[in-house]
Copies of this chain bind each other. A is one copy, B any other.
Amino acid sequence: MAHLNEHYLKLKAGYLFPEIARRVRQFSEEDPEQGKSLVRCGIGDVTEALPPAVIEAMHRAIDELASRETFRGYGPEQGYEFLRHAIAENEYRKRSIDIAEDEIFVSDGSKCDCGNILDIFSHQNRIAVVDPVYPVYVDTNVMVGHTGPADPSGAYEGLVYLPCTKNNGFVPEIPSERVDLVYLCFPNNPTGSVATRGQLECWVNYALSAGAIIFYDAAYESYITEPEIPHSIYEIPGALECAIEFRSFSKNGGFTGVRCGFTVLSKSLMALTSGGKKKALHPLWNRRFSTKFNGVGYPVQRGAQAIYSQVGQAQVRSLIGHYLGNAQILAESMRSTGLEVFGGRNAPYIWVAAPTGYSSWQVFDKLLRDVQVVITPGVGFGVQGEGYFRVSAFNSRENAEEAARRFKKVRW
């Protein structure tokens, strides 16, 4: 008889966003008038239109599919050469990072890649995640059996949690115990923190000496404004030999509803067989793409390519400028009321310390009831998020300004 994968049964219900929705719904039912004036700063989804260059490129590609002479069916599973080339050139070679086109794997998004990457690793690796954390890193490990059950705080047995706190500037310290795979994300969701070159050098040197591999999620790299902050982990010497980079078009090109991202996996990245032989991981990831994926749609890849045109780059810069402008307005309004505010300079997220005596959820309830602003309670991202809340800058300017006005009115 068919048996199911019991590791799924260990998963905690996706608690955070359904619970937010429940509380918002309850509030709106109790007070329909106030419910109508809600300003939502909770969600990490873009709000503005796609860049015109992307729109034009996608229209053109669809017209190509409308005629048999220019029709394209199956493309290369790993992405069209035109897009892999644009990525290699613009994201890497311009920063003097030596990446070949065939070390870039175009996918339908970073969330898929972050989960799928585990396919090419054995089950005996020791896994480290940061806390607070993007839940996908944790849940995908639970699903394949890399953990035991969760404790009452939601932490899973067998995972190594690396605290990101105010004391370490929300950049985790090198673990004292052995780990084999480490998830890092900079600029960080949810804290909005970035890692300096020196901090990334420590991590790369650690990984090289321990034979560990870093899963480097740089989905928000285009929000980096400080010139000394690395955009790619491959700016650090040696990183090609110890890191896989995950990138996305969701938060620069606004592709959350279009779906495109990519991973970079260098041919020089090695891992061990059980017999202790070093083997390259590139053929495995390449084979996974060939066998379990059929490529990203052609119009989508043309849209992604357009992001790298001169006009596309200017349009993306303007989008990022818009969201970072929101972040500044929101951060200043909260700072002006005496709150301690982090992030928001090189990221679309602001991480705010709750006033003394408030838990994350108490802040959530107070902001909802007093000023009808929806935020995300930090504890939803992990134990270390307790006492914090996340404010998203993904909004119209009008909404961001309105939220900022309301934050100023709150009496803590």
Contacts and interface: CB of A to CB of B under 8 A. Distances in A.
Interface of A: 1-6, 8-9, 11, 14, 45-50, 52, 55, 58-59, 62-63, 65-68, 71-75, 108-109, 111-112, 115-116, 119-122, 124-125, 135-136, 139-140, 143-144, 180-181, 210-213, 254, 256-259, 271-274, 279, 281, 283-284, 287-288, 290-300, 396
B68 A6 contact: no
Contacts of A257: 65, 71-75, 295, 297-298
B5 A272 contact: no
A357 to B, nearest CB: 35
B50 A284 contact: no
A208 to B, nearest CB: 11
A181 B116 CA distance: 23
A65 to B, nearest CB: 5
Work out how many copies of this chain go into the complex: 2
B297 A4 contact: no
B71 A48 contact: yes
Nearest to A210: B1
B122 A273 contact: no
Contact of A119 (B5, B284, B295): B5
Given A2-B180, A8-B284, A291 B73 contact: no
Contacts of A143: 119, 287-288, 291-292
A63 B59 CA distance: 9
Nearest to A285: B8
Contacts of A279: 4, 9
B62 A45 contact: no
Contact of A8 (B58, B63, B72, B120): B120
Nearest to A13: B287
Contact of A65 (B2, B258, B290): B258
A212 B295 CA distance: 32
B65 A125 contact: no
A116 B291 CA distance: 11
A294 B47 contact: no
Given A47-B73, A73-B257, 13 more contacts: A1-B180, A3-B122, A3-B272, A4-B271, A8-B283, A8-B288, A9-B279, A48-B71, A50-B66, A74-B256, A257-B298, A259-B297, A297-B300
